[in-house]
Structure 1
Amino acid sequence: MSPTDPRYPSSRNREQRVRDYDMIVCGASGFVGSLVAKHLSDAAPEGTRIALAGRSQSKLVAVRSTLGVTAADWPILVAEADDSVALDALAAKAHVVLTTVGPYAKYGKALAHACATAGTDYVDLTGEVLFARESADENHELARSTGARIVHSCGFDSIPSDIGVYALYEKVSADGAGELTDTTYVLTSMRGGMSGGTIDSFRTQIDDMAGDEKARSVVLSPYSLSPDRSIEPDLGRQNDAPIVKGASIHPSLKGYKAPFIMAPYNSRVVRRSNSLLGYAYGKTFKYSEVMSVGSSPLSPIVAGGIAAGLRAVFAGLAFKPTRFVLDKLLPKPGQGPSERSQRKGHFTVDIYTTTTTGEHYVSRFKMKGDPGYKATAVMLGESALALALNRDELPGIGGGVLTPATGIGDALITRLRAAGVEVSARKV
């Protein structure tokens, strides 16, 4: 049954689900978790029932003490990530569970399944193909039956990609300009970096792929997160993160563009959205992600150097001697930049497309704050608030293992704009 079919199960009536909390924040004592808790203490409307959860009561109490009077009475819940009984009980207490506890392949499976079983909406920060694939296989039909919206990847991976393409689609559709064809994400500018948790997720996925040909084939498939690979259109080779000349994306772009490190994950999320929406973006929709390296005559050399560097990092993490060295240099889970550095961070993403009518459009996703930390905390927090408080604005797709665009959609765009994020689309 297609998600666009009117018989597709809708979310259960929220009023019929009596829960203790509107939202539980799991991992609130971690670096990113504490940032999310801080954002919620500032942004959640008065009366929103929020609880903080994690392994250590003392650490959770310490975090709560930094959040001000708004959070002074937020309950503390203690649960281990591998205690399925405790996680089942936790999931049954809330309308929405938000978790920053990764790597998700290690620590996220039981919680996602508990939420799918309990009919509880769920959001996380995963950028792990294997975890997201396993979650879809195990939880999608279950979540459809309970009405739970299991929404992975609600941070810098992959909200700018997924919501940016969704905003582009809505504008093209409203203008009657056909469907999307060649579509390219360009990270136009950025200050900040990836979190230690993201790096740790890379390590975990590399370990899971080692000696496992099936896992490797899943990670490398461009449609590895699609609901049904057999019905995906045959569009030839999908180069998720190419080195390309800017003018081939749009005539206004100068220089060459380099591969973007998260493209292999983000692109699969965007393709899952298109499939879940019944190929609303288009049957010939092709998607890739790159980053700007300037427009000087040296840009092709810089782009090539970045591509080589990314390959070297991944190869280094897969080889024990070099991995030992990289582990000393790369950020570690639980670590992050100063508050001042986070405030100074920012990013701008421009997504270009050509439509089937030959028109050119671009969407923009622009945000203040370090992408992997402060900005991610806002995106994750607003995703959870949209699910908890904006039920009437959510897409009619119902429950399942969804994406930011298909699970939250316009409700998230509205909340992000209210939080100062630019989400726009226009003809160019």
Structure 2
Amino acid sequence: MAGDRVDLVVFGATGFTGQFVVEEIAQVEADGDGLSWGIAGRNRAKLEKVRQQAVKETGRNLDHVELIVADVSDEESLNQMARRARVVLNCVGPYRFFGDQVVKACVSNGASHVDISGEPQFLEGTQLNYHEAAEKAGVYVVGACGFDSIPADMGVVFVHDKFDGDLNGIESYFNVKTGPKGYRGIHYATYQSAIHGFANQHELGPLRRRLFGKRLPRSNYKLPNRGNLHSSSVINKYCLPFLGSDKSVVQRSVFHNYEKRGWRNVQYSPYVGIGGWLRTVSITVLLAVFGLMASTKFGRTLLEKFPRFFTLGAVNHDGPTRQQMAETSFSMTFVAQGWKEKRPQDEQHTSPPDQTMVARVSGPECGYVATPICLVQCALSILKEPGKMPGSGGVYAPGAAFAETSLIERLNHRGVTFEVIGDQ
């Protein structure tokens, strides 16, 4: 890559999440990582406000941080931004509408790209459409580098590495702990991405057939079918299937690691803890209404126009307050089962699993505190450990891209912790 590039450029720095990514880089820089970096967005005056807000929050002098004007509707501005960066941290969503332009500019101009997308269609389509070009350009494109889906995907990598035997499957349970101020403030952009993800689920089948081309060998022992609602003793809550991108991202990583690293096929089922019976039923009804309305154009219009009404106030354009974020934390508990005996990769076991392990990934508020931590550390892994990345470039899920890097160690250092907590 050209020597006159800065290490990192945050695109979408003037957005809600972008502000926190800027502050996270300022903190990491203060820890001695020796970074050159810039922030990019449509309006220079707003970029200056972001920089000043970061100065206020972190106490750092950020006069050296470059301001770059770039707009997703202006291809040449994206090209200029990409030519200025070694890695672009893309915070501009929904990625269905605004992601492809940025990936194209990065691949065409020699910049690696990480994002915080939780949109399977975008993530899988990017791998299908840009992998070969990214390989030839010698750059890495790694999506889902925020809460979607670093805890899940790198959690599976962590469990795989720690499990002494043949790993068969993992169930994960996501749980949120809020403080006295509660947590009402899912940002509108996240909500909008979910609307269009639901609306276009039909795209995934044909896309996956083109992307994967074959099925991996299937275990004789399937993970339990928990249904749409179950009471879990793991986190002592009623749980629903987790509807985010985690499962699809993990599947992409497992496929790569099966083919390139000799993994067995690992089953994965993610769940989210809701709470008591009444709350769980209420959330289930809301999700059913949401899914039904997202399936029609008129319904999507209503969902986008009245987000507070259809989420009982959970979604707004302002996001959660800093105090709410400071009082909130997350955990994701992984219950793994498999066999003590190791067999060749494709040789199936003929007796039920005889070994379990429980691990946990935990950290601060997941959407706007842990997400910037994860995104920045992913970018630094590309910068600092290119020899531990797969191939010479390409498009990967995080568990494929970073399985052999020190990303988990880096995340532990920044407060997103990975640990084995015992057997079940």
Residue of structure 2 equivalent to 1:403: 397
Which runs of 5 or more residues in structure 2 are unaligned?
Answer: 341-353
In structure 2, how many angstroms separate the alpha carbons of the residues matched to 1:238 and 1:89?
51
Does residue 43 in structure 1 map to residue 28 in structure 2? Answer: yes
Structure 1 residues 117, 233: closer, same or farther in 2, change over 3 A? farther
In structure 2, how many angstroms separate the alpha carbons of the residues matched to 1:126 and 1:51?
21
Does residue 373 in structure 1 map to residue 353 in structure 2? Answer: no
CA apart distance, 1:416: 0.7
CA apart distance, 1:332: 6.1
Residue of structure 2 equivalent to 1:286: 267
Aligned residues: 389
Secondary structure at the aligned position of 2:97 is classed as: helix
Residue from 358, 364, 376 that aligns with 1:362: 358
In structure 2, how many angstroms separate the alpha carbons of the residues matched to 1:73 and 1:246?
50
Alignment of 1:107-122 (within 5 A): 107-122=98-113
Does residue 339 in structure 1 map to residue 322 in structure 2? Answer: yes
Alignment of 1:9-408 (within 5 A): 17-44=2-29, 45=32, 47-68=34-55, 69-172=60-163, 175=164, 177-178=165-166, 180-191=167-178, 192=183, 194-206=186-198, 209=200, 216-219=201-204, 224=208, 227-233=211-217, 242-246=228-232, 256-262=238-244, 265-278=245-258, 283-294=264-275, 299=277, 303=280, 305-319=282-296, 320=298, 322-323=302-303, 326-329=306-309, 330=311, 335-357=318-340, 358-368=354-364, 370-392=365-387, 394-408=388-402
**What residue identity is the alignment partner of 2:286?**
G
CA apart distance, 1:325: 6.4
**What residue identity is the alignment partner of 1:337?**
P
* Contact 1:226–1:268 under 8 Å retained in 2: no
Structure 1 residues 225, 240: closer, same or farther in 2, change over 3 A? farther
1:278-305, Cα deviation, whole Å (9 max, x unpaired): 25585442111112345xxx65x75455
1:347-385, Cα deviation, whole Å (9 max, x unpaired): 0100111013321012211001x2211221222122222
In structure 2, how many angstroms separate the alpha carbons of the residues matched to 1:332 and 1:83?
30
Could you state the TM-score of these two structures normalised by the residue count of structure 2?
Answer: 0.82
CA apart distance, 1:242: 4.0
Secondary structure at the aligned position of 2:157 is classed as: helix
Residue of structure 1 equivalent to 2:349: none
1:85-109, Cα deviation, whole Å (9 max, x unpaired): 2212221221100010011111110
Could you state the TM-score of these two structures normalised by the residue count of structure 1?
Answer: 0.82
Structure 1 residues 67, 189: closer, same or farther in 2, change over 3 A? closer
In structure 2, how many angstroms separate the alpha carbons of the residues matched to 1:205 and 1:325?
17
In structure 1, how many angstroms separate the alpha carbons of the residues matched to 2:10 and 2:327?
26
Q: Over aligned residues, Cα RMSD in angstroms?
A: 2.9
**What residue identity is the alignment partner of 2:26?**
S
In structure 1, how many angstroms separate the alpha carbons of the residues matched to 2:331 and 2:51?
32
Residue of structure 2 equivalent to 1:12: none
